[in-house]
Amino acid sequence: MHASELRPDNLKQAYQSAYTKACEDFQRWNPEDMAASSGTSFACATSTFSIVYAGQGYQVSFPSGEVVYADRNDTVPVTEKIILLHYLIRASGQTIANSWISFKEIPVVGMLYLEPFNKRVTNYLIGVFGNKPHLLLQAGELLGASACRFGNYGIKLNALPRLPIIYALWAGDEEFPPRATVLFDATAPYYLPTEDLVVAAGFCVGKLAQAARKLPAAEVPDLGTV
């Protein structure tokens, strides 16, 4: 069963169970090895990882798995904690291929999550930026993304240090509606499980939407959370 099919109370329990398990797995690994494989830094003096997720800095304590923001005292949502721990655990250290694949091309299980991916990522991207695709470039810049030659408007954003994602939009016209594509480096499955790729890609779109709303005179639809 996908997380979106669970009731809110069961969903909260499922996330907490996933976080507890991730903490148990996390403490079994060597922190220096995880840092080297994930492209993060590990401070031995404080036993903490420093990691950036969608432009936001975090610190992850080892071996507890506790996660805090690097620059503010707000509580980190459990979904963000899970992604960060899963990334540190799974990161293989494989060199980024710069070979781009769609979500459905992810080996074995990409098709199983295609519907939630389209809903939470591709369709959400169109809903937010479809009528003003140029704002994608400006919002991406605020998160440290770079422009790229995909679509009429495209950005490459490092969701995590070794997890680049391309978000591209084609402007609509009188005949065709706007459309979008989201691409992953071919090494993405070596850094996050498939379901987590849905979550991470959707999280980044949400952050892009938040960034766009901060732009002068930008009128970006508020579609809620993904």
Angle CA(41)–CA(43)–CA(45) in degrees, nearest 5?
175
pLDDT of residue 98: 95
CB 209 within 8 A of CB 128: yes
Among candidates 16, 51, 17, which has minimal Cα distance to 31?
A: 51
Domains and CATH numbers, the chain: 8-90 (no CATH), 100-214 (3.30.310)
Residue 159 three-state SS: strand
R_g (Cα) of the chain, nearest Å: 17
pLDDT of residue 112: 81
**What is the 8-class DSSP label of residue 153?**
E
Q: Whole-angstrom Cα distance, residue 32 to residue 86?
A: 16
Residue carrying structure tokens 């691409």: 183
Per-residue pLDDT tens digits of the chain, which is 226 residues long:
445 444 556 888 999 999 999 999 999 999 999 999 999 999 999 999 999 999 999 999 999 999 999 999 999 999 999 999 999 999 999 999 999 999 999 986 667 899 999 999 999 999 999 999 999 999 999 999 999 999 999 999 999 999 999 999 999 887 889 999 999 999 999 999 999 999 999 999 999 999 999 988 666 556 555 5
Residue 171 three-state SS: coil
Q: Whole-angstrom Cα distance, residue 72 to residue 106?
A: 35
Q: Whole-angstrom Cα distance, residue 6 to residue 31?
A: 34
Q: Which residues of 144-181 are buried (b: 16+ CB within 10 A; e: fewer)?
A: ebeebebbebbbbbbbbbbbbbbbbbbbeeeeeebbbb
